[in-house]
Amino acid sequence: MASENVLVLSDENFRSSVLESEKPVLVDFWAAWCGPCKMIAPIVEEVAAEMAGKAAVGKLNVDENRQIAAEYGIMSIPTLMVFKNGQVVDKAIGYKNKAELVKLLEKHI
């Protein structure tokens, strides 16, 4: 469920891929059974392609990676968080259109 521009995140690689990234990272917390998550998935892919080189984009399946989801208090999905320098700097919950996601990420580049 990810493309060449979207990182597949897990409990195991979250620290190295997100917290230690030199670029801002947009993380989409999702689950396979979530309707709005399926709706936003192609938009996340488009944002990843558009922001390639400036920021990273990743997806973390909350059902398969409960540790990270719990650590960040994910209660509703999709939840989108922007990480910069190892910290959460922005957050959005629910379906967002492409312009909203680009704006969410661009202000941290």
Residues designated as active site:
34, 37
Buried b (16+ CB within 10 A) or exposed e, 5-18: bbbebeeeebeebb
